Structure 1
Amino acid sequence: MAKKMGKRKREQRRRDYDIRQAQHEQVIERIPLERGCKLIMVYVEGYEDVAFWRSVFDDYESDEFMFEISVPLRNDLAKGKKVVLHLAEDPEVRDTLFCIDSDFDYLFADQTPVSREINRTPHIFHTYAYATENYLCYAPSLHNICVKATKNDTNIFDFEKFFADYSRTIYPLFLWYAYSAQIATPNIFPLIEFKSSVKLNYLEVEGNGAETLAWLERQVQRRLRSLRGQHPDIERQFPAFIEMLGKRGVTPENTYLFMQGHTLMDNVVMPVLEAVCDKLRYMSISRINGSDRRGVSLVNEQSNYNNALQDVRSALSFNENYKECFLYKKLKHDIERYLDALRRAQPDYNCRKG
């Protein structure tokens, strides 16, 4: 049985490699490179990750290296972290990088087989934040998202303060959720319950969301009472767990960077952005309607403004203003260290163009 399983695994890897080789050859034909210029393939988990990692590797393209961001092609159409890690194990892979969401693997260090593989494989890069979505939702960048969507640069909401307050509010529940994941007992506090406890159903823009956060605090306390009643001994383990998380950069004020990415984007950040953008659009329209323009001139101005508007989710999905995040700097360091090692291993790169 073991031999059959090993044979099937080798055959699957061979099929995967054939597919990758075909894709690689197509890329070589499509992208003209000067002689000696190194093309490095970069495989990511899914199509929604391509734009993020393209932005990351844009900073490293030069006369030495070119990068091609792609999703692994497989006959079974499978995608995701497991597929990428499976390909990374293939000893026949050359000039290929693998980029994945950290999930909890960064926070839990070498406590799981996956985290050990990630931390010890130089051509695997991970986000450090829970996922790419957490970077897209980086609080200092969100005002710019509103400007792109509404074409109104009036600063009516302090996103950094709000998400620091939001993070402090959910931090106790985050500890329960992360700890249950660490001890591989997610039924203590599963994702669906965490999500329902930390999502925002609305935002009161006035008061910088204070009313919304007060409502959220009541939700959190209600859930905490329930968890403590069901598992009265769990919190005794938290001091050591909090210390471990702190060494990885987690604080009560930045918890949002380490929570599940889709929950953050879909159930927290999007409701906040929609509420703020609604206010900004209303302000712009009121300003236009209150101007001296009349008749055709007014209609044209209204039309010009409406045509300039952008979908909020689209603007957020292509956000690139997260590179000052302290976690991103860790990712940047990993990439630079890898490329430096590549240069030392092959110092004769000569990719000068023109």
Structure 2
Amino acid sequence: YVLHTYAYAIESYQCYAPSLHNVCVMVTLNDHRIFDFEEYMKQFSQAIFPLFVWSIWHYRRSIYGEFTITDLNHIAELGSFSIHNPLLSIENLRRKVRNKINTLQHRHPEAKDSYLKLKKELIDLGVTPDTTYMYIQGHHLFNKIILPIVNRVCSRLVQEREDEIRRQAVHDTQRRNELSCYTNSIQDIPQMLKKNMGYQESTPFKRILMDAERILNPKQNENP
């Protein structure tokens, strides 16, 4: 039996947005929630969804050389990102997406009906505008989108914790010892992302479990 992964790859699951705050906590030992990963990735997904549909549209017609996965990845890169003004990167992403869509629509004016039909099909399959990030290339998502964001968030959380240690230290020796201890406790971000198991609560992963259950225990699925 072959089970579908639903999401693009294991990296997609490791980047499951609702689990990323816990990754930051494990890295920094600071549970201050300073960034809304779920909302950001929702807006990211909504921004790229129309172009994602175009990517599948080209693939279905064996003309994917006109608009490759690499092309989509390049547009989906965040470029400059600030946790103080994250929507700026979303606005820039939307601008790039609009420009490319205009080009594709001009190149394929006959595509409207088939595009809309494909869009509905993808949504019915579970690839929704809010969750598109789970279905783009996993390595690109991990390395070029999620990792830079988590790096920024963790750097801020580490700075917060170090500032707290400095404020609460009674004398210099205590400050140095506690800062040294804290620095040694900080975990490697890519490794923590790769160890992230929070995706087990995601809808695509639960669909895999249901499929496995259906295949491995066929008698339980028989009608009485």
TM-score (norm 2): 0.92
List gaps (5 residues or longer) in structure 2: none
Note closer, same or farther for the CA distance 1:309–1:248 as it changes in structure 2 (3 Å cut): same
Q: Which residue of 2 aligns with 1:131?
A: 9
Q: Which residue of 1 aligns with 2:66?
A: 188
Matches within 5 A, 1:1-354: 123-207=1-85, 209-341=86-218
List gaps (5 residues or longer) in structure 1: 1-122, 345-354
Could you give the per-residue CA deviations for residues 36-74 of structure 1, whole angstroms, max 9, x where no partner exists?
Answer: xxxxxxxxxxxxxxxxxxxxxxxxxxxxxxxxxxxxxxx
Q: Secondary structure at the match of 2:215?
A: helix
Q: Secondary structure at the match of 2:200?
A: coil
- Give RMSD over aligned pairs: 1.8
Letter of the 2:13 partner, please give it.
Y
Contact 1:139/1:160, CA 8 A, preserved across alignment: yes
Whole-angstrom distance in 1 between the partners of 2:7 and 2:64 = 20
Q: With CA pairs under 8 Å and 6+ residues apart, which has the higher RCO, 1 or 2? A: 2
Note closer, same or farther for the CA distance 1:289–1:203 as it changes in structure 2 (3 Å cut): same
Letter of the 2:43 partner, please give it.
D
Structure having the larger proportion of residues in strand: 1
1:135 Cα deviation after fit: 0.9
Q: Secondary structure at the match of 1:130?
A: coil
Whole-angstrom distance in 2 between the partners of 1:139 and 1:274 = 15
Letter of the 1:258 partner, please give it.
Y
Whole-angstrom distance in 2 between the partners of 1:224 and 1:331 = 33
1:343 Cα deviation after fit: 9.7
Q: Secondary structure at the match of 1:125?
A: coil
Whole-angstrom distance in 2 between the partners of 1:240 and 1:289 = 59
